[in-house]
Amino acid sequence: MGKYYIASCVFTAKYPELSSAIQKYVRTRFQMPVVRCCIPKYRLDFFTKAMPEKYQDEWKALADSGDFQPADTVYSLCHNCSAIIEENHPEVNVRSLWELILSDESFAYPDFHKQTVLVQDCWRSRERLAEQAAVRDLLKRMNFQVQEMPENHGRTEFCGISLYRPAPVRNIKLAPKRFVENAAGKFNDCTAAEQKKLMVDYCRPFQGKRIVDYCHYCQEGLELGGADAIHLAALLFGSESSRKTE
């Protein structure tokens, strides 16, 4: 019964230093192997070149993927990877990074002194009740006051602009239940201007409020819409965490 952590190609390309900090934590605290992706050699050159040059060697040195076996447990912060593993390896236990952190009794949480935040749930994970609960528990342990969006948990239809452009062919092929059968009306091919308007319209009711998300696509869309948004990983491992604990 092995355990793996998937670093995520897309997340690491967007946030290489943050991803590196998480990988170091997983290795040090849990002695868990870290792999790049849920499938072998997925666009390796593309994502490597998208990263800062100083991080490229570290990324290429990671194991390509895992030889996932029945009863293994795979932790990830990429909902694409989670869906692909669930549909191709139904005997593997899929868990979120947030659940792993929550199991760590020694984790040093920063203190955000009762700041109020909204939680943005993601369409890609709207059935993942354990993940959603872990996100809220982590925020409370960081001393946030948590408020809910009008459409939360299983009601959310939001995933940034990722639903307003074609779905990656890999996702359609390897996780058709998530990205075809359960995606009616989504993955519309919109122009950049249309995407911007959709995000601005979505974010308008939340101006003046801080939003915490746990999906890199959600973060991208919220930023495009002008929201004061931050990824949960940045609160736990990034500069926000360091600043609050100084």
At residue 152, the pLDDT reads 97
Give ∠ CA 80-216-86 in degrees, rounded to 5: 15
Is the pLDDT at 245 greater than 50? The verdict is no
Is the Cβ–Cβ distance between 23 and 237 less than 8 Å?
no
How many whole angstroms separate alpha carbon 145 and alpha carbon 118? 9
Instruction: Find residue 233's DSSP bridge partners.
Output: none
Average pLDDT over residues 180-199: 97
Is the pLDDT at 246 greater than 70? The verdict is no
The domains of the chain are located at 1-105, 108-165+186-246
At residue 240, the pLDDT reads 66
The CATH number of the domain covering residues in 108-165+186-246? 3.40.50
pTM of the model: 0.94
pLDDT digits (tens, 9 = 90+) for 22-70: 999 999 999 999 999 999 988 888 999 999 999 999 999 999 999 999 9
Is the pLDDT at 81 greater than 70? The verdict is yes
